[in-house]
Amino acid sequence: MPNLSKNRQDPALVALGEALRRIRLNHDISQERLALLAEVDRSYVGRVERGDNNVALLTLLKLANALNITAAELMVEAGL
Amino acid sequence: MPNLSKNRQDPALVALGEALRRIRLNHDISQERLALLAEVDRSYVGRVERGDNNVALLTLLKLANALNITAAELMVEAGL
B30-80 pLDDT, tens digit each: 999 999 999 999 899 999 999 999 999 999 999 999 999 999 999 999 999
- Cα B43 vs. chain centroid, distance in angstroms? 11
- Regarding an ipTM greater than 0.90, the answer is no
Q: Is the pLDDT of residue B28 over 70?
A: yes
Residue of A nearest to B12 (CA): A58
Distance from C-alpha of B41 to C-alpha of B77, rounded to nearest angstrom: 23
- pLDDT for res B9: 81
Q: Answer whether A13 sits within 8 Å of B58, measured CB to CB.
A: yes
Q: Answer whether B57 sits within 8 Å of A58, measured CB to CB.
A: no
Domain ranges within chain A, ordered by starting residue: 11-78
> What residues contact residue A29 under an 8 Å CB cut-off, 6+ apart?
A37
Q: What are phi and psi of B56, to 5 degrees?
A: -85, 160
- Flag the least confident range among A4-18, A27-41, B12-26, B31-45: A4-18
* Residue A30, helix vs strand vs coil: coil
- Cα A4 vs. chain centroid, distance in angstroms? 18
Of residues B52 and A4, more confidently modeled: B52
How many CB contacts within 8 angstroms connect chain A with chain B? 52
- What value does the mean pLDDT take over residues A53-57? 96
Q: Answer whether B80 sits within 8 Å of A58, measured CB to CB.
A: no
* Residue A45, helix vs strand vs coil: helix
- pLDDT for res A21: 98
Asked if residues B7 and B62 have their Cβ atoms less than 8 Å apart, the reply is: no
Q: Is the pLDDT of residue B8 over 80?
A: no
Residue B28 burial (CB < 10 Å; 0-12/13-18/19+)?
Answer: exposed
- pLDDT for res A9: 81
What CATH class has B11-78? mainly alpha
Q: Is the pLDDT of residue B1 over 50?
A: no
- Please state the three-class secondary structure of chain B as a single string: CCCCCCCCCCHHHHHHHHHHHHHHHHCCCCHHHHHHHHCCCHHHHHHHHCCCCCCEHHHHHHHHHHCCCCHHHHHHHHCC
Residues in chain A: 80
